[in-house]
């Protein structure tokens, strides 16, 4: 195989400092093979998904701050064009199509990594946050953390599975539910929520979708939601959930919201022994729970943070079998600023994928 030509410069979307506007520049350097460290690879991207986390990184509104200047993005799919010299026993090779996730790298040898919580590694590197991400034509990643993409799964279809899909897949996987149980998905028509409906259905769960608007209702019902609740029309969401579940409440809720109300509502509509999966990452919002009723109802509250390498492989495999499909629209990188604005205003149903072939 001939060695791919690697340009000296590329087009990328850069945030100069927290809260600064996006600058799409064409003079951003591309790391050359000689500059890669052992274990690193260079990926020429086909596309990348856009996630709410990218917006938080750009705004700098989390307790943890992203590096700046920053190239955001962490849902990239592309082809490996270089692997660093002295990389030992690489599981991937030049020419492989791979995915770039939020978790770019971890040590693989600490307690967290050994227990399958690589995302909690104290030395973790995060794409588009602590290291430059996928809003660029080329990105540096690590051979032991990129995710191989099956040949039958298109790049744009795989992109958002790498974060939105993996995140909700793991949350549902650990939601302590069984086939036939009821699971509630606030924000079900959004980027994470519409994938959560599908992953929940693959596990035989009955889904209550909570969101608002005709477009999102249509999407949720087409994806198999058993019950739809419009939070702007409902007079009492807790009562509506209990009514839909025969009065006892749901077995679990996967909450991706960044405001407190959906969390407190979930604690009220969960049945005894139910599980609240806390997934959203708001900057300063706190979760308030009645200690009495948390104990009295034997409620489980579990934080679920993205996923590990195995979660990613499983989530991608399910998508490659056609059981989960990301609903997305493709846009050029120049439209990233407008996409951020739509995310802030809750106007996006499904997902946006930046396609570099549109440049």
pLDDT (0 to 100) of residue 47: 98
Residues 6+ apart with CB under 8 A from 153: 316, 319, 320
Domain for residue 279, yes or no? yes
Examine the domain organization and report whether 124 and 221 are in the same domain: no
CATH number for 350: 3.90.180.10
The model's confidence at residue 283, banded by pLDDT at 50, 70 and 90, is: confident
So what's the pLDDT on residue 2? 63
Query: Are 93 and 29 contained in the same domain?
Result: yes
pLDDT surpasses 70 at 202: yes
Q: What is the pLDDT of residues 45-88, one digit of tens each?
A: 999 999 989 998 999 988 999 999 999 999 999 999 999 999 99
| 88 & 13 share domain | yes
Burial per residue of 182-200, b for 16 or more beta-carbon CB atoms within 10 angstroms, e otherwise: bbbbbbbbbbbbbbbbbbb
- Contacts of residue 219, Cβ cutoff 8 Å, sequence gap at least 6: 189, 194, 327, 349, 350
> Are residues 16 and 113 located together in one domain of the fold?
yes
Q: Is residue 288 located within the same domain as residue 347?
A: no
Residue 3 within any structural domain of the chain? no
Say how many C-beta atoms besides its own lie within 10 A of residue 123's C-beta: 12
Q: What local confidence, expressed as pLDDT, does residue 145 receive? A: 98
What is the per-residue pLDDT across 94-109, written as a single tens digit (0 to 9) for each? 999 999 999 999 999 9
Q: What is the rounded CA–CA span in Å between residue 161 and residue 49?
A: 9
218 alpha-carbon distance from chain centroid = 22
Owner of token pair 């591309």: 30
Q: Tell how strand 270-278 and strand 300-303 pair up.
A: parallel
Per-residue tokens: 64:
């943890």
Looking at the structure, tell me whether residues 204 and 286 fall in a common domain: yes
Same domain, 109 and 37: yes
- Could you tell me if residue 4 is inside a domain? no
Q: Clarify whether residues 14 and 158 are in a common domain.
A: yes
Same domain, yes or no: 152 and 180: no
Q: How many domains does the chain have?
A: 2
Q: Are 39 and 87 in contact (CB under 8 A)?
A: yes
First to last CA, the chain: 27
Q: Which of 303, 318, 337 is the last residue of a domain?
A: 303
What is the DSSP track for 269-320? HEEEEEEEEE----SS------HHHHHHTT-EEEE--S--HHHHHHHHHHHH
Give the Cα separation of 228 and 16 in Å (integer).
Answer: 42
What is the pLDDT, as a whole number, of residue 251? 98
Residues 42 and 130 in one domain: yes
Range of the domain at 238: 166-303
How confident is the model at residue 52, as a pLDDT? 86
Question: What integer pLDDT is reported at residue 85 of this predicted model?
Answer: 96
């Amino acid at each position: 195989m001939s060695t791919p030509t690697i340009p000296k410069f590329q087009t990328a979307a850069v945030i100069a400092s927290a809260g600064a506007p996006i600058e799409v520049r064409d003079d951003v350097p591309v790391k050359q093979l000689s500059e890669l460290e052992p274990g690193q690879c260079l990926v020429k991207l086909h596309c990348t998904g856009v996630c709410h986390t990218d917006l938080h990184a750009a705004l700098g509104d989390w307790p943890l701050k992203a590096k700046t200047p920053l190239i955001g993005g962490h849902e990239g799919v592309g082809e490996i064009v270089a692997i660093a010299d002295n990389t030992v026993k690489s599981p991937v090779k030049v020419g492989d199509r791979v995915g770039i996730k939020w978790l770019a790298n971890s040590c693989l040898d600490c307690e967290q990594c050994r227990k399958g919580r690589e995302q909690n590694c104290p030395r973790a590197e995060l794409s588009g946050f602590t290291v430059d991400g996928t809003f660029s034509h080329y990105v540096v990643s690590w051979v032991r953390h990129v995710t191989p993409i099956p040949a039958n799964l298109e790049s744009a279809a795989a992109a958002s599975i790498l974060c939105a899909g993996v995140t909700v897949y793991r949350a549902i996987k650990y939601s302590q539910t069984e086939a036939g149980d009821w699971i509630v998905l606030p924000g079900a028509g959004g980027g994470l929520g519409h994938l959560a409906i599908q992953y929940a259905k693959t596990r035989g769960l009955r889904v209550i979708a909570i969101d608002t608007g005709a477009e999102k209702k249509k999407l949720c019902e087409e994806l198999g939601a058993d019950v739809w609740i419009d939070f702007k029309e409902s007079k009492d969401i807790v009562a509506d959930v209990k009514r839909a579940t025969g009065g006892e409440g749901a077995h679990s809720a996967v909450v991706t919201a960044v405001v407190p109300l959906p969390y407190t509502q979930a604690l009220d509509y969960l049945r005894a022994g139910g599980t609240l999966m806390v997934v959203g990452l708001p900057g300063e919002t706190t979760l308030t729970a009645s200690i009495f009723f948390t104990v009295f109802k034997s409620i489980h509250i579990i934080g679920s943070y993205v996923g590990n390498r195995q979660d990613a492989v499983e989530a991608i495999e399910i998508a490659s079998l056609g059981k989960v499909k990301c609903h997305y629209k493709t846009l050029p990188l120049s439209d990233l600023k407008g996409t951020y604005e739509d995310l802030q205003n809750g106007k996006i149903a499904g997902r946006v994928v930046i396609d570099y072939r549109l440049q």
